[in-house]
Amino acid sequence: MNLSPLRIGIAGIAGRVGRLLCEEISSTHATISGGTSLSKDLLNLTCQVPVFDEIEALINVSDVIIDFTNASITGRHAKALQNSQTAWILGTTGISDEDQNLIEETSKTIPIVQAANFSPGVALMIRLASEMAKALPAENYDVEILEAHHRQKVDAPSGTAIAIGEAIAKGRQVDLKQVQEVGRYGVTGARKKNAIGFASLRGGQIVGEHSAFFISDVEEISLTHKAFDRRIFARGAVRSAFWSVDKPAGLYGLSHVLGLDSI
């Protein structure tokens, strides 16, 4: 049994979540092996560790890498991590289908925990949304998903909103891409039967708010989650990093870390 402290690397260490990860990891018995950053703004980092330009250098000194970077470099990270001895905790959203295929290929060689949102509350919300979708017939209950985020967010709908939609679609045994309606505008006609609708709000510094509405002619049932502090994402990712130790290669979700799904 390896008694050495877990070495956690932070990809995107100068980002909003990256800076919080410095604080969260420092409060555990793990060590921060280093970070990567495309930004030159490294002031006020709470952890004084090596910062590398390339992910390969961070992989070489890390047991686990936590990655909240940009979707434009996710594919490159997946290729670099293939056949390494380093687990990957991936919280980047807006990932293309091509890069998602690379992630799944990489998961054949290393453990990957991928989540659109590392809040335990969101993981539970996704599970509940799936169960509601199974119980509430699509022909009787319209589903609408509303999400709100800060003005700097670059993708819409959010990765979390899509994850909620995918859970509902799975519960209804349909393909989300075939039934989703995003950003209605103009004369759209009547709402399509069995559609799953998405609406996105952007403004200020909203950390993240998500609601799923099941609406029939006679009642409305809603699930809502609001994040008040990005620290919840950092804590969930660090929890996932410790969980990933000694796990076999595979693609996992936060639901596995929380014990909601068997392995």
Is 200 buried (19+), middle (13-18) or exposed (0-12) by CB count in 10 A?
middle
**C-alpha dihedral (219, 160, 238, 236), degrees to nearest 10:** -10
Domain ranges of the chain: 7-114+230-257, 120-227
**C-alpha dihedral (85, 64, 208, 129), degrees to nearest 10:** 60
Q: How many CB atoms lie within 10 A of CB 114?
A: 22
Residues of the chain with pLDDT under 70: 1-3, 40-44, 262-263
Is 122 buried (19+), middle (13-18) or exposed (0-12) by CB count in 10 A?
buried
Choosing from 150, 153, 170, 247, the catalytic residue is 153
Taking only the tens place, the pLDDT of each residue in 89-112 is 999 988 999 999 999 999 999 999
Predicted local confidence at residue 3, as pLDDT: 66
Q: How far apart are CA 100 and CA 177, in angstroms?
A: 16
225 is catalytic: no
CATH number attached to the domain at 7-114+230-257: 3.40.50.720
Give me the residue label for tokens 């609601």: 211
Q: How many CB atoms lie within 10 A of CB 189?
A: 7
79 is catalytic: no
- Four-way CATH pick for 120-227: 3.30.365.10, 3.20.20.100, 3.40.120.10, 3.30.360.10: 3.30.360.10
Predicted local confidence at residue 35, as pLDDT: 95
The strand pairing partners of 210, in sequence order, are 147, 225
Q: Which residues contact 146 (CB under 8 A, 6 or more apart)?
A: 198, 199, 200, 201, 209, 210, 211, 213
The answer to whether the Cα torsion of 15, 20, 26, 30 is positive or negative is negative
Tallying the residues shown for the chain, one arrives at 263
Predicted local confidence at residue 48, as pLDDT: 84
Predicted local confidence at residue 4, as pLDDT: 82
Choosing from 29, 40, 134, 149, the catalytic residue is 149
Predicted local confidence at residue 211, as pLDDT: 98
Q: How far is CA 254 from the centre of its chain?
A: 9
